[in-house]
Structure 1
Amino acid sequence: MSNGMFRRKSLQKVMADSESGHNLKRVLGPWALTALGIGAIIGTGIFVLVGKAARDVTGPALMLSFVFAGLACIFSALCYAEFASMAPVAGSAYTYAYLTLGELMAWIIGWDLVLEYAVASCTVAHGWSKYFQDILNQFEIHIPTALTNAPFDIAKGGEVVSTGSILDLPAVVISLIITLILVRGIRESAFINGIMVVIKLAVVFFVIFAGIPHIVTSNWTDNFAPFGYGGLSFFGTLVWGDINPATNAPSGVLAGAALIFFAYLGFDAVSTSAEEAKNPKRDMPFAIIGSLLICTVLYIAVAAVLTGMVNYKDIPKDAPVASVFALVGMPWARLLVSIGALTGITSVLLVMMCGQPRIFLAMARDGLLPEKFFASVHPVYQTPWLATMLTGLIVALGGSLLPLDVLAELTNIGTLFAFVVVCAAVLILRFKDPDAPRSFKAPLGLFCPIGGIVLCLVLMFSLGWENWVRLFIWLAIGLAIYFAYGFHHSKLRIEDHNKLANKF
């Protein structure tokens, strides 16, 4: 085993640590896990992003953008499924990195996952607030402006501008409600999530089947890809494709894939609940891959229906799904779809806020975070309750005080980075430990992890340079915490030191 910052945990030790001291309750079956995945995926992306993507970036070719982004995710999902079947413990990509890449890289990924779970939850809480306010407005109920938004925003030029608000109160309220539900228990959380998944799937199917009779095929055939099939950029600078003069941003199928990638976030959240699965080696791959495939098919169908119902130029940016039905003479559907969207976003928030404390738990077990706090499991509910309450506080503050665009961009680049590391870890493990027991193995040999790395890097490099600067600043803060606390309290480091001392 390597010394210093690059020491690795063995698979046997990972499993032993999960079974001692801080046990979680195993109550989730395959369909409950799949519902967690669907609950995390379908939400803000499909109900919000499709309007901007179709109108400004892709046109009807948005369907192909969903295919490309889904392809990038399926490679990563297969790698997650392989790891989850080998090491069915809380921690997700953090644990997988500790097994293969060493402690320092594991810490970097664990800290990066805060972007995917906690910061993404801030983004979702912000989006939830907007839909909630929209529903209230339909009944002529208006929240005071001072309590409806973050106090500042970032303009296109990069300058900070005031919004006239103090904080986003609905974002605070929903964050605290979800926190209380999660502290109460994973079984109760999964049950509530299951109900919300059924509701939002019903609304998605309503959108598809109610929209089909209103499809005009010429909306597809006359100008299927008005912005082309490119849009590939490098650090925000166009490499292949066109610039949309209206937005001064890259446009085309690949640019659309980078934009709507946010719609796929969440399938990996299933892996954070591995210790609460009844039969994780069998059920984790089923749930991870199943939830992603179901959502990909539904995304493509919704994109096809919306761009077929009206000309892509007429799809509104705000509440696009609900607004399109109003344009074809079904204004009553606006409230129905808005309620479905609110339900969908709520379930995303539930699952993402469920994932973050379990990342903290795994890191605390290894001594990289204070164990008494982050690994504290409630004696009655058997949930990581203190870490859950801290997560709720972070989400309530971030979702109510920080601008939406900055949060969303940080989430995208942080998640893609985690996907790249997981795919790389699978690749490394294929060479370092080819005979390790795997109840599920990603197909296509080395092509699967390599394909995931390449496609995720393409999407990462398509993001603007300012996103990379924010990512590096975030990781630098994390490294400072690691060297100030984690390195000195690492249980693996202490064990290695004791073994060395016993030799003399």
Structure 2
Amino acid sequence: MASNLFAKKSINKLIQESEGGGSDGHGHSLKRTLSATNLILLGIGAIIGTGIFVLTGSAAAQFAGPGLVISFIVAGIACAFAGLCYAEFASMIPIAGSAYTYGYATLGELIAWIIGWDLILEYMFGAATVAVGWSGYVVSFLRDLNINIAPEWWNAPGISLIQDPKTSAWVQITDQLTTQYAAQGIDIASLPHATGVFNMVAAAAILLITVILVVGIQESAKFNNFIVFIKLFVVIAFILAGGYYLLRNPAVAAQNWTPFIPDNTGEFGHYGWSGIMRAAGVIFFAYIGFDAVSTAAQEAKNPQRDMPVGILGSLVICTILYILVSGILTGLVDYRQLNVAEPIAIGIEVTGYTVLRDLIKIGAIAGLSSVMLVMLLGQPRIFYSMSRDGLIPPIFGKVHPKFQTPYISSILIGVVCAITAGALPIAQLGEMTSIGTLLAFVIVCGGVWYMRVHEPERTRPFRTPWVPLVPILGMLVCFAMMASLNVHTWYRLIGWLIVGLVVYFTYSRKHSKLNKTPMVHSGK
């Protein structure tokens, strides 16, 4: 029956299941150990990473120029709208599973499945993207110590590289790079070449983080807290050092910030206002992570109070830091020179405070490590919820009797993610992650509006203000950023969703526990 596709789970039943033992079918449930501070740091751990340490430079160089500051504001506004909606859901439905669980309780099983399948793009592909950025900083740091890893083993298959004659660093061949070298009288054909085989460094990072996650959520949170303090120190050090330099040398900032919004090249998304929107869609990846806090709702000590604090607190802190970093970076360095793997390190060199360069790299490595941890923490918990509902095999919901973590799911995801990180380039992974997350945000915003109309009396410890204005604005801004992304990214998203629907109709619908019981049309 078609109506079964939109059968909903009772919110009251969801909460009862989470509070009772045996939720995995073996007498084990997730352990509540996370405080509000843990959740804020968890969010910061996921947010500050590849976006600020890697994608900031390439987005400025290719799409927005100094106008990248505006791109961060646009993306931050979209996240603020979505964050308010997530906070209401997380306080109302404090269950592992994030947007998947919210969708199941409000919009029905088919929509919930689409969200759950879509979130794989955010968490698993997102972790793979971060691992690729992590490998670039690690290789650069090791090179400073005269430890050189062959470029074939820290690049995706088929990536063409040349060795820069000045820095001896291996860089990817692009049309822009070819033109730049030609202007300097350098023939690329005369330089050493290499072709990527498999990014072993990125794959190894994923596998190491997976081991940490299997050991336990409390241990993972402690590791994350330590890493977050390191990278916050590094980001603030860059802001202070770069800001002080620009105050003493205002002419440098004036030159690099002019024009603040470079003229469009005639192609959509390359500078101008369309470039600012394109950059917003790309660096939106930098904000991904605040919603990962919601996947840990079932492990929070007081989720009704602490989840909104964790989500919104981490989002506000990181938005302020991003605006400051992007403004200072484009003031220090001509945006056309920022299409590099380590833009923050390049920026600090301009100041002359070279002692900070190694510190920046260490902070980036630490920062990207914590992002991988949070993203790899999120995906198994979504699978944990989906398996309890019968939509994927029960093995994904099995909880370790000692560590009380979804260990089999974590291991399987870790292995697949490691292969993905080693085999695909960062550009494809990053845009797929962004579009998948934006789609999830659109559905969550719509879900809050839907619930206010259909269940206005439902207890909401945190209430999104100005409904339906905030959800509508959240959907519109997210749609605008999705529309600005590459058409090939849309093709990949559509293909991914088609595969997901095939899985749903061939396996999930037949095994759905909800469809084996009388239908529920209300969240009550």
TM-score, with structure 1 as normaliser = 0.91
Whole-angstrom CA distance in 2 between matches of 1:312 and 1:149:
25
Q: Which residue of 2 aligns with 1:152?
A: 158
Describe how 1:390-401 pairs up with structure 2 within 5 A: 390-401=412-423
Q: Which residue of 2 aligns with 1:80?
A: 86
Alignment partner of 1:434 is 2:456: yes
Alignment partner of 1:386 is 2:408: yes
SS in 1 for 2:518: helix
Whole-angstrom CA distance in 1 between matches of 2:264 and 2:444:
26
Q: Which residue of 1 aligns with 2:250?
A: 217
In structure 2, the CA distance between the partners of 1:231 and 1:34, relative to structure 1 (3 Å rule), is farther
- Equivalent residues of 2:121, 2:432 under 8 A apart: yes
Q: Which residue of 1 aligns with 2:345?
A: 322
Q: Which residue of 1 aligns with 2:301?
A: 278
Q: Which residue of 2 aligns with 1:471?
A: 493
Whole-angstrom CA distance in 2 between matches of 1:401 and 1:205:
34
- Residues 117-152 of structure 1, C-alpha deviations (whole Å, 9 max, x = no match): 001111111111111111111111111333222213
- Equivalent residues of 1:69, 1:258 under 8 A apart: yes
Q: Displacement, 1:184?
A: 0.5
SS in 2 for 1:357: helix
Q: Which amino acid aligns with 1:434?
A: P
- Equivalent residues of 1:281, 1:439 under 8 A apart: yes
In structure 2, the CA distance between the partners of 1:101 and 1:116, relative to structure 1 (3 Å rule), is same
Whole-angstrom CA distance in 1 between matches of 2:19 and 2:138:
42
Whole-angstrom CA distance in 2 between matches of 1:328 and 1:494:
65
Alignment partner of 1:100 is 2:137: no
- Equivalent residues of 1:30, 1:283 under 8 A apart: yes
Describe how 1:325-474 pairs up with structure 2 within 5 A: 325-371=348-394, 373-474=395-496
Q: Displacement, 1:229?
A: 8.5
Q: Displacement, 1:175?
A: 1.1
SS in 2 for 1:97: helix
- Equivalent residues of 2:133, 2:341 under 8 A apart: no
Q: Displacement, 1:256?
A: 2.5
Q: Which residue of 2 aligns with 1:15?
A: 15
Whole-angstrom CA distance in 1 between matches of 2:81 and 2:515:
34
Q: Which moved more, 1:193-202 or 1:118-127?
A: 118-127
- Equivalent residues of 1:316, 1:324 under 8 A apart: no
Whole-angstrom CA distance in 1 between matches of 2:198 and 2:456:
52
Whole-angstrom CA distance in 2 between matches of 1:83 and 1:232:
43
Whole-angstrom CA distance in 2 between matches of 1:54 and 1:11:
44
Q: Displacement, 1:173?
A: 1.4
- Residues 217-264 of structure 1, C-alpha deviations (whole Å, 9 max, x = no match): 34454574636389799xxx73xxx745xxxx9854323322211111
Alignment partner of 1:32 is 2:38: yes
1:180 to 196, 208, 211: 211
- Residues 477-498 of structure 1, C-alpha deviations (whole Å, 9 max, x = no match): 111111111100100000128x
Q: Which amino acid aligns with 1:213?
A: Y
Alignment partner of 1:490 is 2:493: no
- Equivalent residues of 2:398, 2:407 under 8 A apart: yes
Q: Displacement, 1:340?
A: 0.4
In structure 2, stretches of 5+ residues that fail to align are: 24-28, 161-172, 176-192
Q: Displacement, 1:445?
A: 2.3
Describe how 1:136-285 pairs up with structure 2 within 5 A: 136-153=142-159, 164-215=195-246, 216-221=249-254, 224=257, 226=259, 228=261, 238=268, 243-244=270-271, 252-285=275-308
- Residues 293-348 of structure 1, C-alpha deviations (whole Å, 9 max, x = no match): 00000111112222233443454533111112212322232211011000000000
SS in 2 for 1:91: coil
**Identity score, percent:** 48
Whole-angstrom CA distance in 1 between matches of 2:270 and 2:41:
39
- Equivalent residues of 1:60, 1:220 under 8 A apart: no
In structure 2, the CA distance between the partners of 1:41 and 1:205, relative to structure 1 (3 Å rule), is same
Q: Which residue of 2 aligns with 1:113?
A: 119
In structure 2, the CA distance between the partners of 1:225 and 1:82, relative to structure 1 (3 Å rule), is farther
- Residues 400-441 of structure 1, C-alpha deviations (whole Å, 9 max, x = no match): 112221111111110100000000111111101011000001
SS in 2 for 1:3: helix
- Equivalent residues of 2:96, 2:385 under 8 A apart: yes
SS in 1 for 2:348: helix
Q: Displacement, 1:177?
A: 1.0
Q: Which amino acid aligns with 2:391?
A: L
Q: Displacement, 1:63?
A: 1.8
In structure 2, the CA distance between the partners of 1:213 and 1:223, relative to structure 1 (3 Å rule), is closer
Q: Which residue of 1 aligns with 2:178?
A: none
- Residues 14-54 of structure 1, C-alpha deviations (whole Å, 9 max, x = no match): 21232342310000000000000000000011111222233
SS in 2 for 1:442: coil
Whole-angstrom CA distance in 2 between matches of 1:471 and 1:406:
12
Describe how 1:280-299 pairs up with structure 2 within 5 A: 280-299=303-322
Q: Displacement, 1:283?
A: 0.2
Q: Displacement, 1:98?
A: 0.7
- Equivalent residues of 1:316, 1:323 under 8 A apart: no
- Equivalent residues of 2:66, 2:261 under 8 A apart: no
